[in-house]
Every structure is written in C-alpha cells, then in structure tokens.
Amino acid sequence: LQELVTHDTKNNTYDYKHTFCVEVVPICRDCVVCLPKRTAQSLGNMNQLLVCVRVNNVVTLIDPATLQIADVNSYVFAIFFCGVVEEVEFCLTQYYRDPFHAVFQSKQLVEFYVLDVEDVGNLKRASGHGRISTKHRLVDVWVVPSDQVGHDDQQICTRSHLGHVLKPGDLPDEVPDVILVRKIYDRTMRQRRRNWKLKRLVENGNVVNDTASVENEFENFLEDLEEDEQMREKINIYRDRNKQQLAVDSNDMEADLPPGPSLQEMLEDLDLNGDVEMTE
C-alpha cells in the first residue's frame, strides 16, 4: 500500500509511506501440528501428528513415530509472492484448501518422567516415505506425569524421536497418548555453567530492564541456542569473562546438561570503551 505523505510542487518531489501486509508463519519450534491427511501424504506418507523442530526460511517437521522429516517452505503461509513450493512440491492453493496450524504450543506442554527407554529395530516404513533424520534416534519410551511419580497410576508407552537424549529418570495407536517434544534440563545448573553471553542494549551504562515475562523468553532463547548448533551459526556468541574466571564445581561438570557452544564458536568480547554491552 502506497500513501502520499507530502508533496513539494516547487521541486516536484514526493514523499510516500509504504505499508506491507505479511501473514506470519503460525508455527513455532516445539509446536505439535496436525496435518490434513492429503498434506501428510504429499510429504511422503507421513503421520498427521508431527513436531516442529526448527523454523527459519523453512518449517522443519519430524514424525516422532518414524523419524521422517519434511521441510515446508514458509512462504506457503504468506498471501504474496507464492507459487510452487519446491521443498515439498505442492502449490499455494493446496495449503489454503487444507490449512494446518499448531494443536499445542510449547507453553502448553506438560512435564513427564521417563521410566525406561528401548531402541526400535527393524521398523517398516510406508512406501514412498521421505527423508529420515540422522540426528535423532527412534525409541519406545515409558513415561508417567511428573506429579504422579510413585503413585499407582498406569504407565504410558509412546514412540519418540528423542532417543539420542532420553534416558530413565528424565523429565518428557493412530493417535498416541503422549508425544514427547523435547528434553528439559535443570535451569539453575544451566545458568551456572553457561560461560558465554549475548550482547544486549544498554541505556546510560546500564542494561535495559525487561519485564519478568521478557526475561523468561530471553532465557528460553539462550537455551534454544545451547541445544541447536545450526541456530548458533547466525548469531554472535561472546565469552563471558566473569563466568570463565569462576571455579567450576565438580557437580556442575557431572550434571546432565546439553554441551552448548564450543570455545571455537565464541568471540572475544573486545572492551574498547569500558562498556561490556552494546550501546544504542
């Protein structure tokens, strides 16, 4: 949309304001989505209940029952500039004929306690299946809700793609009773062992204060960076000198935590003006 703001008749100059309308992709990482049957078949005969593992220029979905993955071009969700989607080979009209959205957001997830994990062998996949993830491991998992551990409640068995991280003691038919989305770690231990940081805006020499909800979202973002190596490739990560000078507790070293960024991924925090943060 183009709107005229000012017009100088003497110089014959025009000042316009442009407004762009974009429909944002309604899918986030760790969302559980339910695809229409026709769409699931077009992606290589996948199951309809999938987990979103990554969102960038494409939305990456994984089938937790088969390890099959598919990349859905994010432009399929936009109204403008869409044609044929190369990654999954279906056109814009098919999405609007069979739209899909998240059935569960990450904030709606419930914590489960892992009792046992068993590898799945000799899985027979449907003909015409798509790509299989090599970063995940297919397992059968027995879980109970965390608030019911120790009670006589019935255990739940489900199939999961998180076999590479799950083990007993962790907290995660056509329609499974439970879909494990991600493994959770002790947040206090993660913060204590985190020896890196991101640049943040400062005002008058002090970091801009955020609300509790914003700080929680920022902490979630840091945790996503620790777990996703591909996500870290596009973000500058700096060594935290204060954390690196502290003595490391032996309990922290033995804690079950994600590896996080390596020293090779971290940049030196150059302090030319005595400010450790980025000014506006």
Structure tokens at 161: 């793609």
DSSP readout, 38-89?
HHHHHTTS--SEEEEEEESSEEEEE-TTT-BEEEEEGGGG-SSS--EETTTT
Please report the pLDDT score of residue 10 as a whole number.
83
Per-residue confidence in pLDDT tens, the chain, 280 aa: 788 888 888 888 888 888 877 666 778 888 888 888 888 888 888 888 888 888 877 788 888 888 888 877 655 443 333 333 333 333 344 455 667 788 888 888 888 888 888 888 777 776 667 778 878 888 888 888 888 777 766 788 888 888 877 777 766 545 566 778 888 888 888 888 888 888 877 666 566 667 777 888 888 888 888 888 888 888 888 888 777 555 555 555 566 777 778 877 777 765 545 444 444 4
Please report the pLDDT score of residue 228 as a whole number.
81
HSE-CB of 9 using CA atoms within 13 angstroms: 0
Residues 6+ apart with CB under 8 A from 29: 52, 53, 54, 55, 106, 224
* Rounded to 5°, angle at Cα 16 from 13 and 21: 160
Please report the pLDDT score of residue 84 as a whole number.
31
Q: H or E stretch including 92?
A: helix 92-97
Side chain identity, residue 212: A
Please report the pLDDT score of residue 78 as a whole number.
39
Range 145-182 burial, b when 16+ CB lie within 10 A, else e: eeeeeeeeeeeeebbbbbbebbeeebebeeebebbbbb
Q: Are 67 and 75 in contact (CB under 8 A)?
A: no
Strand ranges (E), the chain: 2-8, 13-18, 32-34, 49-55, 58-62, 69-73, 84-85, 90-91, 102-104, 112-119, 139-145, 156-160, 196-197, 201-203, 206-207, 237-239, 266-267, 278-279
Q: What are phi and psi of 144, to 5 degrees?
A: -140, 150
Could you say which DSSP state residue 148 is in? Answer: G
Please report the pLDDT score of residue 126 as a whole number.
67
What's the sign of the alpha-carbon dihedral 107, 112, 231, 262? positive
